[in-house]
Amino acid sequence: MPLTNTNTNGTTSGTAAIGVRVKDVAAQAIPVGKRAGTTAVQGVRQGVEGAKEWAAPRLEEAVLGAREWAAPRLEDAADAVDTTVAPKVSSALRSTAAQVRPSVTKRTGIRRVLDWRLLVGVGVAMAAAGAGAAITVRRRYASATAEAKDATESSEDGRGTQAGDTASDAAAGSEVNGRVTTPGM
């Protein structure tokens, strides 16, 4: 049945009839298309499985053959490197090492005295002596300050408070370095 519109007067009922026929044909075509697609997918899957089954043993044989061919050639190459290249490389490395190695010269005179180890040792000894001197000076200062403090406290206890003594007079008799002097002496 043709799907073309033979009615040329353009009636609405004719167009509606054509639309109904198109829907019927489409409703019949969709399941047919689904079945065809499913069949095509199954055919492709079967083809892939068949190709895989056919190619797998042939591929394994090809890989095995390539490995059998390559193994002896690799061994021959290794033997050639051991006998020809390795001795040459070894001798080249030894001659380079001999060229790079500094000549052994005996140090004499001032060079022997100014060895870096000796200089470091002298520096460490001087640092230790300086630290010892600093500790001694600090202890002497602390003991002198303590003695001066004790001397001023004991003289104040013995004298009591006299009429002319004030805190400002005691401050006037002390110096910046911490020594206390008595007036009149």
CA distance linking residue 32 with residue 21, whole number of Å: 17
Question: CA geometry: angle at 90 spanning 87 and 91, to 5°?
Answer: 85
Residues belonging to the chain:
185
Query: Measured in whole angstroms, how far is the alpha carbon of residue 181 from the centre of its chain?
Result: 67
Transcribe 13-26 into DSSP letters.
HHHHHHHHHHHHHH
Tokens of 169: 């007079």
**The tokens of 120 are what?**
């470091």
Domain boundaries, the chain: 15-91, 116-156
**pLDDT above 80: residue 30:** yes
pLDDT tens-digit readout, 143-164: 999 999 988 887 766 555 454 4
139: pLDDT strictly greater than 80? yes
Mean pLDDT of 2-12: 56
Average pLDDT on 4-33 reads 76
Question: What would the pLDDT profile of 49-77 be if each residue is shown by its tens digit?
Answer: 888 888 888 888 888 888 888 888 888 88
* C-beta neighbour count of 175 within 10 angstroms: 8
Averaged pLDDT, 76-89: 88
3-state secondary structure 131-166: HHHHHHHHHHHHHHHHHHHHHHHHHHHHHCCCCCCC
What's the predicted TM-score (pTM) here? Answer: 0.30
Contact 156, 173 (CB under 8 A): no
Alpha-carbon distance 17 to 107, whole Å? 119
First-to-last C-alpha distance (Å) of the chain: 148
* Three-state DSSP class for residue 63: helix
